Amino acid sequence: MRTDKPPIYPIEPWSITETSFDKEQNYRNETAFSLANGYIGTRGTFEEAYPFDIETGLEGNFVNGFYESERIRYGEANFGSPEFSQSLLNLPNMKETKVYLEGELFTMEEGKTEEYKRILDMKGAVLTRSLLYTSPGGRKAEICIKRLVSFEMKHIMAIEYQVTPLNFSGEIKFVSRLQADVENHTRKTNPIVDYGPFGRRLSPVLLEGDRQAFYYQGITKGSRRTMACGGSHRIYGGAGALRHTVRTGELDAELVLTVQGMKGKPVVLEKMLCYATDLDRKPEELKEFVSDTLDLAHKRTFQGLEESQRSYMQNFWKTADIRIQGKDSELLQQGLRFNLFHILQSAGRDGKTGMGAKGLSGEGYEGHYFWDTEMYMLPVFIYTEPEVAKKLLDYRYKTLEKARERARILGHQKGALFPWRTINGEEASTYYPLGTAQYHINADIAYALALYLQVTGDVEYLREKGAELFIETARVWADVGSFAACRDGKYCICSVTGPDEYNVLADNNFYTNLMARENLKAALGAVEYLGEHDRDYLEELKHRLDFSLEETELWKEIIDRMYFPYDKERGIYPLDDGFMMRKPWDEERIPEEKRAWLYENYHPLFIMRHRMSKQADAILGMYLHSNYFSEEEIRRNYDFYQEVTLHHSSLSTCIFGIVACGIGYYEEAYQYFSQSARMDLDDYHNNLYAGIHGANMAGTWQAVVNGFAGLRCQNSRLSFKPSIPEEWEWYSFKIRYRNAVLKLTISRQEAEFVLEEGEQVVFYIGEKEIAIREKGGNYIEKI
């Protein structure tokens, strides 16, 4: 566990600033400065379109949910191995804008660049680059480029490119290009896969340009999906007539806009860029849709969209921001805001898409959605932006039918099994021991759904989608295991992989069994609720799902008799049945440069035969369902897992930090939190280039709220156990709960709870029930 890296960017409260153009760090910075709105994602590349090599940068433009497929080849295929891949496809780039100052190309690789700044403004969701430029020919200009991906208009990315000639008046030429000869950098970004996508995977259907716009429509070679993109341009400022020329090639279109610049007067190019796919419109409607959307965007103007960004963010930060006062608080606060900003950007919010492990910031993990969404991101959204949470749950509901089909392939005659990794709802993991075997995904989705329902009180959602999701996921749990005589008739679940990817195909993975039991309880609860409140709908469900109440009898049996591995001597829950038997791990035998890259350097059998853990697994279960365990019990387990966990997953430290708080290990908690908070901002894993670590980003919010403040929502009971790290004077955050917004401010002496919105709120501190019954009312707990 390291927290010793110096900050990469200056410490600032609301922004990330790059103060010089550094080609060496370009690839990493492209991720840090990436923008997205849950639909479009674009990497922080330059408008100049430098021809960087594959180790230096990756131009990347993505649309959530838009993927390419290729036939997957296997050494030996298993029954049920996915036949086709799903890879988030890198789409045509339209950001490219070359500027000529009286014929001289602006490029930071030549000429002189001064006062360079690139600022990611997290309050405004705008990326701004500004600099003073002197060309080799001595022409000076001030250049300021703003970029945003609009939260208001999901299909729009916008650029405002401002050039102010400082020591000359003369021709300013913008060459704006749509470049469709693009491909994923699979060998670099997903080196482990061998099925691509390789090469250009979009075939152009239409490519055209006119005086101020260009348009491209293409179809993927494998998945046969259609996408369209177009850009539209306006120029403001400058003297003299505007000249346009247009050139369209086979795979690109170039618009040349020339204007007479006047010394000291800014010339502004407003570029509106639109992406759309057949997920939104029929292919034949795309062209008109893009054109209309671009018109609308110009009507809104860049400035209008910029203001809209600011108000969107203001609304977000109003609830989601965490404020900290104390040692390193500026450092941590910047990290926290960077993290929250990126997960907000990354989450699909149209009910048709999820959230990739790397958001929309890169090609890593092929853009797939994993359990990260439900276990790491969703809790944050549930308490801060419940509408986003709901849309992410909608996505799972939308793919329920595919999960049912998958369950059949796995031999379950009833129920649904969600895929371990996916974009379109079908399983995309090609190595089942680390993929499909992670059955816990079902329970994770059910957990997030249950949390959503408890926190929001959205009973409608339970009726519309929730109950069905609970029932269908639960049915797989009722089929996968059995009551084993050799374990006193307890219910055992064999041959699954828990979250810990170093212990695969285990029997009775503690986390899985614990979460499966909750899944069954949630399903049972849903059925009982419907039985009381909506008999008609229950009857409909029973009919539609071929579901009978007898099944719930089995569920009850399983809930009562779920088996958990237990080591009596140590008083701990081993990770799984075989864990305590494995060989002790001897890190000394592993050369240092290989330690964090076990699967790259060691055979899976070597890894799985050792008693060590990649990441929080049993510990995660004890955090989520801490109500079942005494503090002493959690402490014993924490002590044990602390020894055997290598934290080789970015999903680990934040959870250990939370659990450490719960048992009074505040110093360790603070260490874990510190590293989590700045993990990406300071690139602790040295792989930010490939994309953000969304789960850890969300985990840091949890580390404060669920960790230091001890928030839990279990059995529909909101509770806190406030604490504060020694290093801090106070910290403050808000959560949404039912119709309330509750603000907490925790200092070294006390925790103050203020009801900022809503009529009342009830919560617990330990066994003490606290109710605040008027808006603005407060409660103070001494600590």
Residues that bind its own copies (CB under 8 A): 72-82, 192-195, 409-411, 413, 430-433, 436-437, 480-482, 484-487, 492, 494-496, 504-505, 507-508, 567, 569, 577-578, 580-584, 589, 599-606, 608-609
CA distances from 587 to 584, 611, 649, 651, 771 (A): 10, 11, 17, 21, 51
Min dist CB 184 to its own copies, Å, is: 16
Q: Which is nearer to its own copies, 308 or 601 (CB)?
A: 601
Q: Please, how many CA atoms are within 13 Å of residue 253, restricted to the half-sphere of its CB?
A: 24
Q: Closer to its own copies at the Cβ: 152 or 577?
A: 577
Query: 422 or 719: whose CB is closer to its own copies?
Result: 422
- With tokens 């960004």, the residue in question is 309
- Tokens describing residue 92: 């045509």
Cβ atoms of residues 69 and 86 within 8 Å: yes
Q: How far is the CB of 60 from its own copies (least distance, A)?
A: 22
- Name the token pair of 777: 């009312």
Structure tokens at 541: 């469900």
Specify the residue, 83 or 631, whose C-beta has the smaller distance to its own copies. 83
Return d(Cα 35, Cα 730) in angstroms, integer. 32
The tally of CA atoms less than 13 A away on the side-chain side of residue 62 is 37
| Residue number, 340 or 492, with CB nearest to its own copies | 492
Instruction: Decide: residue 586, CB within 10 A, 0-12 exposed, 13-18 middle, 19+ buried.
Output: exposed
Residue whose CB is less far from its own copies, 72 or 765: 72
Q: Which residues make Cβ contacts (< 8 Å) with residue 230, sequence separation at least 6? A: 94, 178, 213, 214, 215, 216, 273, 274, 287, 290, 291, 294
Query: CB 568 → its own copies: shortest distance, Å?
Result: 10
Between CA 30 and CA 323 the distance in angstroms is 27
**Hey, what amino acid is at 417?**
L
Closer to its own copies by Cβ: residue 379 or 419: 419
Give the span between the Cα atoms of 660 and 623, in whole angstroms.
10
Could you say which of 68, 70, 501, 668 is catalytic? 501
Q: What angle do CA 677, 683, 687 make, to 5 degrees?
A: 125
* C-alpha span between 13 and 186 (Å, rounded): 36
The total of other beta-carbon atoms located within 10 Å of residue 592's CB is 7
Is there a contact between 230 and 156 (Cβ–Cβ < 8 Å)? no
**Four-point Cα dihedral 27, 29, 32, 37, nearest 10:** -70
- In what helix (H) or strand (E) does residue 644 lie, and over which residues does it extend? helix 631-644
> Which residue's CB is nearer to its own copies, number 135 or number 508?
508
Type and span of the H or E element at 569: none
CA–CA gap between residue 601 and residue 685 (Å, rounded):
17
Cα 494 from Cα 513, distance rounded (Å):
10
Strand ranges inside 454-590, DSSP E? 482-484, 490-492, 583-584
Give the residue with the Cβ less far from its own copies, 365 or 369: 365
Residue 501 falls in the annotated catalytic set: yes
Residues taking part in catalysis:
501
